[in-house]
Amino acid sequence: MPYSSLVIAYYILKRAKDKGLALTPMQIQKLVYLSHGWYLAFNNGNPLITDEIQAWQFGPVIPELYNKFKKFGSGIIDELDPLSCAVIDATVTPFLDAIVDSYGQFHAFQLSALTHETDSPWYEVYYRCGKFAPIPNTKIFDYFAKLLDAANKTASTTNEPSTTTV
């Protein structure tokens, strides 16, 4: 069942806080986007979030998150909504925990760089369709599925089990 991006964002914020991490609006944008992309790849194209993702100048942006957290500017988000976290299925929370564990310590600009690769969905949509164009889930799925496949192939050629957790 897909969720509002805000529900996912609040869960990530809570998990980060529990780990002693503080996140900015740019970090939460990128972490929700990465969560959605990896979720699509691991779940045969089934989405994690219901909200549209758009190609903005500085990467993929979920307007609902932008509007909610823009008041924090480049500062730390100090707002949590524990009630929204309660609606996330118990099968999804370990996945989100793995995202925070894998990417939560990255600076906003490091996360942004991950989403700006020349073959990324953002790059393709931004440079073909322009600023604010929606990034289709199919493009996000294809990109992250390709990353997952490459990680699995690398693990199999080294005769090691795949360590790809997200």
Tokens 């929606």 identify what position? 134
> Average pLDDT, stretch 65-93?
88
> Average pLDDT, stretch 8-21?
95
Which residues constitute the domain of residue 97? 5-157
Residue 131 located in a structural domain: yes
Total number of domains constituting the chain: 1
Residue 163 located in a structural domain: no
Per-residue model confidence (pLDDT) at position 163? 47
Contact 42, 98 (CB under 8 A): no
The beta strands (E) that lie in 91-166 are given as 133-134
How far is residue 57 from each of residues 67, 112, 123, measured CA to CA in Å? 16, 11, 10
Residue 128 located in a structural domain: yes
Model confidence band, residue 79 (pLDDT cutoffs 50, 70, 90):
confident
Residue 107 located in a structural domain: yes
Helix (H) or strand (E) holding 148: helix 137-157
Helix (H) or strand (E) holding 55: strand 54-56
Residue 50 located in a structural domain: yes
Residue 96 located in a structural domain: yes
How far is residue 83 from each of residues 11, 99, 114, 147, 160, measured CA to CA in Å? 10, 21, 31, 34, 41
> Average pLDDT, stretch 156-164?
58
Residue 14 located in a structural domain: yes
pTM over 0.95: no
Residue 162 located in a structural domain: no
